[in-house]
Structure 1
Amino acid sequence: MLVILGIIFPFAVAAVIPLLYRLVPNRHIGWFVAAVPLVLFAGLLRILPRIASGRTADVTVPWIPEAGIDLSLRIDGLSMIFGLLITGVGALVVLYSIYYLSERESLGHFYTYLLMFMGSMLGVVFSDNLMVLYAFWELTSISSFLLIAFWYHRKGSRYGARKSMLITVFGGIAMLAGFLMLYAMTGTFSIREIIALRPELSGEALFIPALVLVLLGAFTKSAQFPFHIWLPDAMEAPTPVSAYLHSATMVKAGIYLIARFTPVFGGTDTWFWTVSIVGTVTLLWGSFNAVKQNDLKALLAYSTISQLGLIMSLLGFGSAALSAGTDAGKVLFAQAGFAALFYMVNHSTFKGLLFMVVGIVDHELGTRDIRRLGGLMTLMPVTFTLAVIGSFSMAGLPPFNGFLGKEMFFESAVDIGSGNPFAGADVSVLFPVIGWVASVFTFVYCTIIVYRTFLGPRQPEKVDRVPHEAPKGMLLPPVILGIFVVGIFFFPNLAGKYVIGPAMPAVFPTLAGESGLVPEIAAWHGINTPLLMSLGVIAAGAILFITLRHWRVIYRVAPFRWNLDIVYRRILGVAEGGSTLLTNRYMTGRLRDYFVYIYVFFLVAAGSGLFLTGAFKPDFRMGPVAVYEVAFVLIMSFAAIAMPFVKSRITATLLNGVLGYSIAIFFIYFRAPDLALTQTVIETVTTVLFLLCFRFLPEWKPERAPARKKIFNAIIALGAGALVTGFALTVRGYDIFETISGYFEDSYTLAGGGNIVNAILGDFRAFDTMLEVVVLFIAGIGVYTLIVLRPRKGGGDIEGK
């Protein structure tokens, strides 16, 4: 019950938020919303012992069983980790937002979007069906777009929202193609069943393409190089959004996807090298670029990119366990996967804490620019303490949980560098080297956060507000996260045993039950390589920080000043310019041109398909033809030929009516009274509407078109008519397959409908009919909106805004 409630509950509350926002004072709406993640978090904690014991919580609701799509939801150890992060951090973010956002903000919209995102993320991590997972995956992109663009009056917010949408949706579509390939190989959308069929997949031709496409979805969502460029621009969102989406949830969706599909694609060199190399490059590139940032949120954005790369590389290292030669090697490499999950939890705590600290600084001083800050330690002592906890944890210093995670990363990088089971293993010795260099830059930018913001001289002339400590309610969420940062350091095995450990069988199902799969976590392992690497990071990082102003000029030297944003903007500019040019060429405002495009495409595409494939085999056999049939054909031919030559709209309308009503008569003759009735009604309504509109149209002056244009029009018209006739004659003699009419004739047994036409529309084509109704509904909403939100006289704001 909790599984499906966890998804429905946020969406249900989001649906009533607009009404509640009008009934309850603004300052109370956040307290109501906070109950949603709190209730779900408590529910997950309640079943945590059950999940920790190796059991799962499952529920399946039939949705489209004929297509193999069911609302199949499952909570196992892996989804439990993400569920706790989504709900736990979500509750703290909602509490933080109550004090951060002004009552003048559109809080109804904000909390609606936030709950939509929360429900979508829970849907992603709880889904066992690929199509359901994809649906929720794209809902996270849509809801995050709305949250990033919450301050839509800012150009940067709109740009960042569009950028994140384009990149993540591109990855989502690629992922969907990969899912369809998996279905083509396995015949199922169930993730569990696909994992069970893993031994049979490696030889399939679609295996590697599916692997690459799934990775594209994960890399775009988790801001991996070169798709990381959307994350810094997404920082235009309100700080609560950044603390939630870009540290604990949305960017972790790609991490979840990699972990979930490691049993499917892991153990192959393509998966190992792609995930490991992309993660390591992202780790180094993000940390290197974070040092040059002057905006605190931009610095945290690049640090998030870097830390996500670290987690991704660990998952890549861990996938080697599925192809290691010895049991000891399998367990050793699998511990890299354990380190990835452990570090992901740690990252969510200290990065969410740091985003909230930066939000407090921005909220109280009105700026995030490091060049205008300094000397805040004595004025904001609690915020300073929290900044030290979060920054030093990210830098990998004790006594904070980041130290444990960084040590495990160093250990895994060294192990994979010395015992890689894949071809080309010599290159893997670069992993610990690159990881160490990236950690040095991490130490530098963490020191910048603390020193440049809270230490050093004050610059009161550069800020507009008098610095003071934040309200207690705003401090409470980061304080709770700070307690977790310190608490996990002293009690790491509680998280390792009851939260991380149960997820290991989901990532490495073939190693389930192996001893040592869940390692004992300790802060002190003696003098070893990871410890020496950490000491080296501190020494080198301190030197680089002290000499920062001397070597920072390197960022102004090519290629370090080059930016992938330039490539993105160029591609977008070319696409927009090209589409504008093309649109201006074919959108002439003349119906004649549009019909030419349609019919020429029809003639080329359908005609070439008919003749080049050899399918054109007309059947000219004719049965008895009644005299009145010939008469009506002649009448229709006369009306059609005469229509282009008449000089009056009314005459043309009447001739068009002759065609329509004649078709209705043929329907009656061929025993299709429903179609005849429908045709008669439509023809009558159309004729009446034409006549009603004539009074609003200017006088008709027939176009004096040149002869060549008239000849071209005639050729297209005759060609289209001849092609349709050719299709009709071909289909008439096309009896390779058994006719489907017999199936529909049994409509009473199959659908309980005595009328075949109604049964086809209402049952056999129900999905298509539903979509048609939805299109009409959306069009109606558009018309209503244009009428209600009409501009006021004399300009100004839109009515009803």
Structure 2
Amino acid sequence: MLLAVLLPFIIAIIIPFLSKWKYKVHTGYLVTVVPVIVFIYFSQFLGHGFEPVQRYYSWMPSLNIDISFNLDGLSLLFVLLISGIGALVAFYSTYYLHTSEQLGHFYVYFLLFMGSMLGVVLSDNIYVLYFFWELTSLSSFLLIGFWHFKESSRYGALKSMLITVFGGLSMLGALVFMNVITGTTSVQQMISQQEAILNNEYFPFILVLLLLGAFTKSAQFPFHIWLPDAMEAPTPVSAYLHSATMVKAGIYLVARFSPMLSSSEWFFIIVSTAGIVTLCWGSYMAVRQTDLKAILAFSTISQLGMIMAMLGFGTEAAVFAAMFHILNHATFKGSLFMVAGIVDHETGVRDIRKLGGLMSFLPITATLALFASFSMAGVPLPFLNGFYSKELFFQASNDLNNVLTGYAGFLQSAIPYLAVLGSIFTFVYSMYFFFGTFRGKAQLDKLAKKPHEAPVGMLLSPIVLVAAVIIIGLFPHLINESFIAHAAEAVSGIASTHHIVFWHGIKPALIMSLTVVVFGTILVLSLPSWRFLYTIVPGPLSLNKFYDGMVYRVERYSEKITKGYMNGSLSRYVRLILIAIMIVTFAIMALTNGFTIEFDNLSSVTLPEMCVAVMMVLAAVGTILTNNRIAAILILGVAGYGLSILFVLYRAPDLALTQLIIETVTVALFLLAFYHLPDLKKKKESIGIKAMNLIISIGFGLLMTMVAISAHSSKWFDSIAEYFIHTSHELGGGNNIVNVILVDMRGLDTMFEITVLGIAAMAIYGLIKLRGNKEDE
């Protein structure tokens, strides 16, 4: 299992080398093998007798961070979607992306994303889950911005990253809270301590922070604005990230923690409200769009809202419907994105106002779009899987027990009506997409090129997905007990199976479906007459404007603040740095009782030590008062050599030798650079600047003094000196404790110190060469 998760990352490393032969063999063919292998491996777990599988790999046990995988019905559903859709998208991309593209970059990002998603849905350790979660944001940022030469691609990539990373950090806060409360980093063990979390005073913060992570990732209102702009990515990216995988990560998070949170009334209120509002708003806004991918983007938002609402209901029937619709949505939405890509590829146009009548030119593509769009609309036909899960959604919304009071009670009674409203517009945008693209009069003069049917290889992936739409619709029992039931059980904790049939009598769910078809048809036929409503709602209001304004203000105010102190004055920079260090350090010392002063266990001070100390003080003061550069260097050396004498007097010869060497080198370097040192002239500074310099100098000197005294007086931890004394010979094989500490005990520190010195030396050499070249010019 670990190899299955790591396989995409391993292959991603070698893709740059394989892509060199892309003109002989398209890199996509090689990449397709990876998700196929992963899909075949996890397919072995399918079946009626499926039992959850755990795998544990030790990583950082001292930090309680280990790679632990939990494969239950929920994660199996997502793993098969990630790998199955991934294989189809990778194969589809071989025909969509030309070999002149940067295929090496694309497929590296693609595999990084795939591996990250596998890690998210399989990880049982919360911090490993968070690592993969943020890696999905990073890799999707790279995929969305793949065509980085387009400003719209860069804008969409940045927007998606800002919003989803904000949610990821919020989620991390919730995970840390739960870790502290339960004392474990295992998701399953946290769920088993449900009462401890629900009864904790910080539970409201946990719930809000966790749902922020889920809502931003799954594009729930009002965080949905990043998804339409992400459509600037290549169509294979849209088909993968925004129909079957990334946008469902938030759905997965809510489903994974539902056993812990669903008993809370606030979970029902927040999740159901967000989901049903997202369903209605996304479906309403989809009809406003004119770009094919924008229509599908808002349709994805609405479908995700419907799934989120069902998880918010929390009933066993609603959870089963949600799991079923996750699968169905991946099939029909993935195929529709590929259809949109084919239309764009073969006509050079995605504007639905310029399309129409393409059924005569792209008959196979039109047929695929017909089945997929009608399935998305929930048209009551027995061979469309979307109808079954839509019926279960209506049934679940009707079966809510209206026992809650207040807003929760009102929400329960309003949900069925809102479900119908959102589904009516779902029907409208589905018909709008199909008939606006493939029916009507062809406008060949508005197309960039003459349309013709796509090559067979490009059609193969959507054909497989549409075949899944039909097969699931005709034989839903094939995936019921052996697949969907296990996923629902992992979320609800109830082992039950729903009998999925096309005809189940005249019940409220059927009446709701027929209502959707009737009113949806009326709205489709009268679309031109009511489209003006979009000038009223949303009208000039736009969440995108709010986002753009917020980003603009942050950048503008940040620039003002930065320019306020970054004025090129090195003295100002030093003052600001020293003031910040003083404030922070003094504040921490005050809060932690760091001003404790103890005189126990101190060496006695005799006349020689006092004389040396006085000499060092006079040398330090003399350095400030002198105007001669050589005198200043030599006087400064007196202070340094005086410290060496103090080390000798206090029987620390090794430190004395080190200090002597350092001081000698320092004085020598100053003398070598004597010619380039500035003249020590008194600057004409205001009294305020002089007073500030005096305060900073005295304050920082006092700070260093207090830190030294506090380090001796405050014993927060046992001294590590005894450990070094007893183990230096045994572990390091040396009698000189200091040498053993530097070389063995702190070997990594020493290595990195040497590395820093080496980098500094190369930088200095580069500056010298640069200056030499300028002088030559």
SS in 2 for 1:719: helix
Could you say what secondary structure the match of 1:48 adopts? coil
Distance 1:489 1:758, change over 3 A: farther
- What's the secondary structure of 2:58's corresponding residue? strand
Larger deviation, residues 734-743 vs 72-81: 734-743
Q: In structure 1, what is the equivalent of residue 177 of structure 2?
A: 181
Letter in 1 for 2:545: I
**Does residue 494 in structure 1 map to residue 474 in structure 2?**
no
C-alpha displacement at 1:432, in angstroms? Answer: 0.9
Paired position in structure 1 for 2:357: 375
Q: Secondary structure at the match of 2:55?
A: strand
Which of 470, 489, 510 is residue 454 of structure 2 equivalent to? 470
* Partner SS, residue 56 of structure 2: strand
CA contact (8 A) 2:26 2:99 kept: no
How far does residue 645 in structure 1 lie from its aligned partner after superposition?
4.3
Confirm whether residue 537 of structure 1 aligns to residue 535 of structure 2: no
Structure 2 letter corresponding to 1:616: F
- What letter corresponds to residue 722 of structure 1 in structure 2? L
- Mark the CA change 1:521 to 1:778 in structure 2 (over 3 Å): closer, same or farther: farther
In the alignment, which residue of structure 1 is the partner of 2:13? 15
Classify the secondary structure of the residue corresponding to 2:69. strand
Match of 1:298 among 289, 294, 306: 294
Does 1:261 pair with 2:245? no
Preserved contact between residue 372 and residue 459 of structure 1 (Cα < 8 Å)? yes
Query: C-alpha distance in 1, partners of 2:757/2:227?
Result: 36
> Aligned partners of 1:236, 1:642: CA distance in 2, in Å?
67
Residue deviations 1:104-135 (CA, integer Å, cap 9, x gap): 11110100011011111000011000010001
* SS across alignment from 2:134: helix
Q: Which residue of 1 aligns with 2:489?
A: 505
Deviation at 1:730, TM superposition (A): 3.9
> What is the SS of the residue equivalent to 2:199?
coil
Match of 2:421 among 429, 437, 440: 437
CA shift for structure 1 position 685: 6.8
Q: Which stretch has the larger CA shift, 25-34 or 168-177?
A: 25-34
Change (3 A) 1:360 1:23: closer
Counterpart of 2:63, as a letter, is A
Distance 1:100 1:496 in 2: 34
Displacement, 1:625?
Answer: 2.6
Given the superposition, is the C-alpha separation of residues 420 and 751 from structure 1 closer, same or farther in structure 2, using an over 3 Å criterion?
farther
| Among candidates 535, 541, 554, match of residue 556 of structure 1 | 535
Q: Is the 8 A contact 1:395 1:402 kept in 2?
A: yes
The residue aligned with 2:326 is: 344
Note closer, same or farther for the CA distance 1:716–1:461 as it changes in structure 2 (3 Å cut). same
Closer, same or farther in 2 for the Cα pair 1:298/1:639, shift >3 Å? farther
- Aligned in 2, Cα 1:201/1:707: closer, same or farther, shift over 3 Å? closer
- CA shift at 1:729, angstroms? 2.9
Partner of 1:323: none
User: Which residue identity lines up with residue 444 of structure 1 in the other structure?
Assistant: V
Which digits, 9 at most, give the CA deviation of each residue in 1:403-455, with x for residues without a partner? 11111110001111656699842431111111100111111111111111111
Identify the match of residue 525 of structure 2 among 546, 549, 558: 546
C-alpha distance in structure 2 between counterparts of 1:205 and 1:93, whole Å: 46
1:137 to 1:673, Cα distance in 2 relative to 1, 3 A: farther
- Do the aligned partners of 2:181 and 2:196 also contact (CA within 8 Å) in 1? no
Partner of 1:578: 557
State the TM-score, normalized to the length of structure 1.
Answer: 0.88
Determine the C-alpha separation between the residues in 2 that align with 1:545 and 1:207: 46
Residue pairs, 1:124-523, within 5 angstroms: 124-318=120-314, 333-397=315-379, 398=381, 399-416=383-400, 418=402, 424-509=408-493, 511-512=494-495, 517-523=496-502
- Say which SS state the counterpart of residue 72 (structure 1) adopts: strand
Taking the TM superposition and a 5 Å limit, the aligned residue runs for 1:657-668 are 659=639, 663=643
Counterpart of 1:798 in structure 2 is none
2:46 aligned counterpart, secondary structure: helix
CA contact (8 A) 2:620 2:635 kept: yes
Cα distance in 1 for residues equivalent to 2:12 and 2:276: 39
CA 67–751 in structure 1, closer or farther in 2 if over 3 Å, else same: farther
- Tell me the CA shift for residue 609 of structure 1: 4.6
C-alpha distance in 1 between matches for 2:341 and 2:207: 39
Per the alignment, residue 797 of structure 1 pairs with: none
Partners in 1 of 2:566 and 2:516 — Cα distance? 61
**Equivalent of 2:566, from 587, 591, 596?**
587
Q: Give the aligned partner of residue 699 of structure 2.
A: 719
* C-alpha distance in structure 1 between counterparts of 2:616 and 2:581, whole Å: 23
Match of 1:599 among 578, 598, 605: 578
Query: Deviations along 1:681-735, whole A, 9 cap, x unmatched?
Result: 7667766776777777887866432343123201110111113223333443335
The Cα of 1:508 is off from its aligned counterpart by: 2.3
Matched, 1:4 2:8: no
Aligned-pair identity in percent equals 47
* Count of matched residue pairs: 764
Is 2:728–2:741's contact at 8 Å kept on the other side of the alignment?
no
- Tell me what 1:729 maps to: 709
Give the 3 Å change call, closer, same or farther, for CA 756–344 of structure 1 in structure 2. farther
Summarize the Cα distance change of 1:507–1:459 in structure 2 as closer, same or farther, 3 Å threshold. same
1:98-109 paired onto structure 2 within 5 Å? 98-109=94-105
Q: CA deviation at 1:607?
A: 2.8
How far residue 674 of structure 1 moved from its aligned partner, in angstroms, is 6.9
Instruction: Give the gaps of 5 or more residues in structure 1.
Output: 319-332, 794-801
CA contact (8 A) 2:732 2:744 kept: no
SS at match of 2:597: coil
| Partner Cα separation in structure 2 for residue 336 and residue 500 of structure 1 | 13
Partner letter of residue 255 of structure 1?
I
Q: Could you tell me which residue of structure 2 aligns to residue 326 of structure 1?
A: none
Question: In 2 relative to 1, CA 588–161 (structure 1 residues): closer, same or farther, beyond 3 Å?
Answer: same
Please tell me whether the aligned partners of residues 334 and 465 of structure 2 are also in contact (alpha carbons under 8 angstroms): yes
Distance 1:348 1:185, change over 3 A: same
Describe how 1:73-112 pairs up with structure 2 within 5 A: 73-112=69-108
Within-5 A mapping of 1:711-790? 711-735=691-715, 738-748=718-728
Using the TM superposition, name which of 424-433 and 647-656 deviates more: 647-656
Residue 549 of structure 1 deviates from its aligned partner by 0.9
Instruction: Give the 3-state SS of the residue equivalent to 1:589 in structure 2.
Output: coil
Distance 1:762 1:188 in 2: 37
Query: 1:661-676 to 2 correspondence within 5 Å?
Result: 663=643
Q: Measure, in 2, the Cα distance between the counterparts of 1:751 and 1:410.
A: 70
Q: Which residue of 2 aligns with 1:32?
A: 30
- 1:796 corresponding residue in structure 2: none
Is the contact between residue 57 and residue 74 of structure 1 (CA under 8 Å) also seen in structure 2? yes
C-alpha distance in 2 between matches for 1:505 and 1:779: 57
**Alignment RMSD:** 3.2
Check whether the contact 1:27–1:98 (CA below 8 A) recurs between aligned residues. Answer: no
8 Å contact from structure 2 (residues 616, 638) kept in 1: yes
Contact 1:27 1:103 in 2 (8 A): no
Q: Which residue of 1 aligns with 2:604?
A: 624
Say if 2:566 is the partner of 1:568.
no
Q: Which moved more, 1:590-599 or 1:123-132?
A: 590-599
CA distance in 1, matches of 2:5, 2:79: 11
Unmatched tracts of structure 2, length 5 or more: none
1:747–1:759 CA contact under 8 A, matched in 2: no
* Deviation per residue, 1:83-110 (Å, 9 max, x gap): 0001000011110111101111111010
1:267–1:562 CA distance, 2 compared to 1 (3 A): same
C-alpha distance in structure 1 between counterparts of 2:366 and 2:391, whole Å: 26
- d(CA) in 2 for partners of 1:85, 1:244: 10
